[in-house]
């Protein structure tokens, strides 16, 4: 199985709030310019369109659930973003450089 990702992933442990479907809150696992991995308490159906609130609520972004698998007592979900957002790109660049956005004095 080949790697289908268009951009590299970076560890990301931020809170991810699913605005739609409503009421799901998860914890990020990894983040890339094109999507993210997140652990959630309930299974999500592949193809589900979602609206996510990430980066401490600073960014709302639309995406689609591409896969979901059971992991321990939760589920790991892969979400592909509909489009890139400059704030996520900046955060990914900061992660790639080995620092968090909170370390950035220009923030």
Name which of 82, 78, 83 is nearest 43 in CA terms. Answer: 78
CATH annotation of 10-99: 2.40.10.220
Domain coordinates in residue numbering, the chain = 10-99
Whether the full predicted model's pTM is greater than 0.85, yes or no, is: no
Ordered per-residue pLDDT tens for the chain, 107 residues: 445 556 788 899 999 999 998 889 999 999 998 999 999 999 999 999 999 999 888 899 999 999 999 999 999 999 999 988 888 888 888 888 885 544 444 34
CA gap 91, 32 in Å, rounded:
9
């Amino acid at each position: 199985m080949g790697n289908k990702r268009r951009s590299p992933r970076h560890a990301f442990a931020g809170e991810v709030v699913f605005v739609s479907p409503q009421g799901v809150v998860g914890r990020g696992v990894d983040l890339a310019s094109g999507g993210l991995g997140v652990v959630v308490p309930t299974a999500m159906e592949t193809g589900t369109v979602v609206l996510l609130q990430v980066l401490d609520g600073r960014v709302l972004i639309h995406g689609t659930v591409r896969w979901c698998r059971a992991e321990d007592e939760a589920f790991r979900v892969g979400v592909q973003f509909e489009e890139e957002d400059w704030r996520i790109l900046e955060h990914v660049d900061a992660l790639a450089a080995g620092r968090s956005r909170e370390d950035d004095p220009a923030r």
